[in-house]
Amino acid sequence: MPELKDKVLVVEDEKDTRFILEKLLTRNNYEVASAVNGEEALEVLKSFNPKVILADWTMPILDGLALCNILKSDEKFKTIYYIILTARSSLKDRIMGLDIGADDFLVKPIENQELLARIRSGIRIYNLQSELRNIEHSKAVIEMACTIGHKINNPLSSLILSIKSIENELTQVEAEKLAEDIKIIKESIERISKFVQELIHLQNPQMVDYIDENRMLKTD
């Protein structure tokens, strides 16, 4: 199975600069998509999931700073490492970009090796954030599973006691008549009890594909 390439989105209205960036990144084993402005980038992002975005500050229709503001306000895109490419080098401009949420700046003209180093750094940060999110997600799933398990366990215990009490009250004739029903109830209780214990002791939650594109929690 071929190794998956890290994805980078280039948002640049200047044709020659965009072409150079695409070639540089492709030669360095990145999967690259491009857009000529922020509006087009939003369309590209519907089907392309980059770890890093390189966006020129000054573009028509929707510039790099406005695009950054939109993406950093969206949970789906906010962790993408966002690098602004700009000819502006003043401290005021950098502060403005950082306040919007940009992760990094590169002042034009851009040195290739510095650009690649910044992208590698951005990918490492993106991957680390993804790992932390997965850890937090797993922790939340475990806590939820334990809570559900304990909540089910209490009425389940009452149900077990009730069945035993009913059995003790039945005459022999009634017990024989209801034997099959009671057997089914006990088997169902046993299955529920096993599921409850799996929830309470869940350590490594995994989601598995189920019917109709739904996903379910795997407990064993």
What are the residue ranges of helices labelled H in 78-203? 91-100, 112-169, 172-177, 179-200
pLDDT(35) > 60: yes
Q: C-alpha 71: how far from its chain's center? A: 15
Which residue has 């690649």 as its token pair?
116
Q: Are the C-beta atoms of residues 78 and 72 closer than 8 Å to each other?
A: yes
Question: Quick one: pLDDT band at residue 23, thresholds 50, 70, 90?
Answer: very high
Q: Which two tokens stand for residue 52?
A: 């890093």
Among 58, 81, 78, which Cα is nearest to 69's? 78
Say which amino acid occupies 204. N
Question: Which comes out higher in pLDDT, residue 151 or 79?
Answer: 79
Q: Are the C-beta atoms of residues 111 and 85 closer than 8 Å to each other?
A: no
Check residue 87 and give its pLDDT: 80
Question: Which comes out higher in pLDDT, residue 98 or 16?
Answer: 16
Mean pLDDT of 39-46: 96
Q: Are the C-beta atoms of residues 127 and 80 closer than 8 Å to each other?
A: no
Helices and strands (H, E) in the chain, number of each type: 7, 7
Among 208, 218, 196, which Cα is nearest to 148's? 196
pLDDT above 70 as % of the chain: 81
Q: Are the C-beta atoms of residues 122 and 129 closer than 8 Å to each other?
A: no
* DSSP 8-state code for residue 5: P
Mean pLDDT of 108-112: 87
Which residue has 């998509």 as its token pair?
33
Question: Quick one: pLDDT band at residue 66, thresholds 50, 70, 90?
Answer: very high
Say which amino acid occupies 54. L
Return the CA Rg of the chain: 28
Among 115, 106, 108, which Cα is nearest to 23's? 115
Average pLDDT over all residues of the chain: 82
Q: Which of 2-6, 93-97, 173-177, 195-199 has the highest mean pLDDT?
A: 173-177
What pLDDT digit, counting tens, does each position of 75-100 carry?
889 889 999 988 876 677 677 767 77
Question: Which comes out higher in pLDDT, residue 132 or 53?
Answer: 53
Contacts (Cβ under 8 Å, ≥6 apart) of 39: 61, 62
Question: Which comes out higher in pLDDT, residue 137 or 102?
Answer: 102
So what CATH class is 7-110? alpha beta
What pLDDT digit, counting tens, does each position of 112-140 carry?
999 999 999 999 988 888 887 766 666 77
CA dist 131 and 7 (Å) reads 17
Check residue 22 and give its pLDDT: 95
Cβ atoms within 10 Å, residue 91? 7
Q: Which two tokens stand for residue 171?
A: 């005459």
pTM for this model (two decimals): 0.63
Check residue 137 and give its pLDDT: 66
Check residue 217 and give its pLDDT: 47
pLDDT(211) > 50: no
Mean pLDDT of 193-218: 58
Query: Under DSSP, is residue 209 helix (H, G, I), strand (E, B) or coil?
Result: strand
